[in-house]
Amino acid sequence: MVVLTTAFITCAKFRCRSSIAAANLLLFSASPSSARAPPRGPLLRCRIGKASLRSIAMATTQASEAAADKGLPLGMDLTMVDEYASQSKLLQEFVKIPSFGKAWIFNSKDENTSRAVVSISQSDLLANKRRKFLLNSQISKSASKSVDFQWSPFPTEISGVSAVIPSPSGEKLLLVRNSEDDSPTKLEIWGPCQLENEIHIAKSVHGSLYNDEWFEGISWNQEETFIAYVAEEPPQPKPVFNDYGFKKEGSSEKDCKSWKGQGDWEETWGETYSKKRIPALFVVNTSSGEVRSVKGIPRSLCVGQVIWAPSSSYGLVFVAWSSDNGFQETPRKLGIKYCYNRPCALYAAPDPFREEAEKPSTEGESETTTMIKLTADLSSAFFPRFSGAHNATNSMHRIEWPTDGKLDGSLGVADVVPIVMCPKDNRFPGLYCFGLLRDPWLTDGQTMILSSVWGSREVILSVNVVSCEVLRVSPQDSDYSWNVLALEKNNILAVSSSLVTLPQIFYGIKVSQTESHWEWQEVSTPFPKPSDEISSILAEHKFSILKIPISNSSDKLADGAKLPFEAMFVSHKDSA
């Protein structure tokens, strides 16, 4: 039994907002002081209209000439130079603070030791992008339940890498290198001490792999022999023309005597997807490097978020968004990045390698794949999440996967966490989940750990898919936001942060096998301490979560609309 579907909303990154605060400081400090308003009156307004405008123009000209003589930018005087320099330095110090991305923990033969890999990123202002690193650590646990992280002295930068996907055992590592030109896409399979295989995939097979929060799907099978992923479909054939008109035979792009047309226009998903082709499903053999596409999926469906099924002939489970998802089946694709409440469904399809091995060889048989819709009874599915309107409360469901792997007939879909219409005071408000771990299960095989929004903060929850019990795992008395990074059996690696504190890693140890209670320990990291100025700025501020009641509440309002709403208030510690 495995949970294949849960309720989710769009993915949001867990980052420290210190750099945003620094940018605001820079803007506020650069704003000029407000001038005193002139007296009102038509006569005085006329005098000011002629005299003051002339004086302002003369002053502006003199200031510009003085700034030009000093080599300063236009609009800046000498009094602003020091302020600009200090604020820009402060901004650089803020953006140097690293952010935590993903993490993986791999067990060893010794129960008291394990290995952790944490991905971190850092802003590069000159290149206008983020630099990504991998940091390794050895985790040692003592009998007193204390945990010691022994970090590697230096991180490893992964330049030009679009995705990093460790195998289930942790003995192999997949690096995806997408190309921005006509060069082939590279899949690197790394072993413990060497590069085991480098697979070059031409553009005629497929384009770049999707590595966004919607269509991305890269999954190892349990035997670590195949990898399923979502990539851009190969370019569609385009009409070719030459001096004599339409040319039936194709030609090269570099043929100077012919040119290609644009072909049929197809609507994209908008924003960051404007130059991307339709996402399609592929499987690669990690040993031979052979790539096969999953047949039988119509081009009207855009697939994403593929995983391997537990064990069956239907080896792949994925989400598909229909292109004709608008009113009366009209196309409505633009803007999925920020308008993510699009109808979709969960499907299962067989592994193309296993399907061909088991299929009898008959000439003339068409290559079709029997694709099964798993969520026919649900209005919208989003692997492994279901999504409705923007930021609406979500629900979680469970599919009983057959032990024999045969998907004959409809599968039963059971409710695990229903939609909470009106939460009680300080009670569970419902699921507002941003993402799931690749392996979110505890050792009992029934409890999953996830992060969800609870009021104005993000918390860590445990959900038992059999008993349908939902518990808050992160500290109850904490106003900080908590996000789960990885699991080590029943222990949790998480990161915590707030508006006035930097991100900090914590390790949660489960107290007992029968109780759902974790003890949290702060993990020391090798990151250098922030500068004295940043530490002083953060220490001088405090934040609190305020509950603001609804004024003039009437009986016409819904029960949920009568509840007070929360606001995060940041102030100076010396303020009242």
Q: How far is CA 426 from CA 125, 243, 454, 473, in A?
A: 42, 75, 9, 15
> What single DSSP character describes residue 143?
T
178-199 confidence digits (pLDDT tens): 988 889 999 999 998 899 999 9
Residue 571 has pLDDT above 90, yes or no: yes
**Whole-Å CA distances, 265 to 238, 248, 261, 337:** 11, 20, 11, 21
Q: Give DSSP secondary structure letters for 507-541.
A: EEEES-SSS--EEEEEPP-SPPPPPHHHHHHHHTE
Question: Minimum mean pLDDT among 109-118, 175-184, 407-416: which range?
Answer: 407-416
Average of per-residue pLDDT across 261-274: 83
- Bridge partners of 141? 147
499, 479 Cβ separation under 8 angstroms? no
Q: At what angle do helices 78-95 and 18-30 cross, to 10 degrees?
A: 170
Go through 180-207 and write b for each residue having 16 or more CB atoms within 10 A of its CB, e for each that does not.
eeeeebbbebbeeeeeebebebebebbb
| 179 CA to centre of own chain | 21
Residue 386 dihedral angles phi and psi, to the nearest 5°: -110, 140
* Amino acid sitting at position 38: P
Q: What is the DSSP letter of 440?
A: -
Work out the pLDDT band at 68, boundaries 50, 70, 90: low
Model confidence over 345-366: pLDDT tens digits?
889 999 999 877 666 555 444 4
Q: Identify the residue with better confidence: 464 or 372.
A: 464
What is d(CA 159, CA 208) in angstroms, rounded to the nearest whole number?
A: 17
> Which of 21-30, 283-292, 304-313, 544-553: highest mean pLDDT?
283-292
Instruction: Tell me the average pLDDT across 373-386.
Output: 60
Q: pLDDT at residue 540 above 80?
A: yes
Residue 151 has pLDDT above 70, yes or no: yes
pTM, full prediction: 0.80
Q: Which of 517, 575, 573, 513 is nearest to 541 (CA)?
A: 573
Pairing of strands 447-454, 173-177: unpaired
Of 485, 479, 343, 471, the C-alpha closest to 417 is: 471
Three-state secondary structure call for residue 49: helix
Per-residue model confidence (pLDDT) at position 132: 93
Beta bridge mates, 521: 507
Q: End-to-end CA distance of the chain, in Å?
A: 55
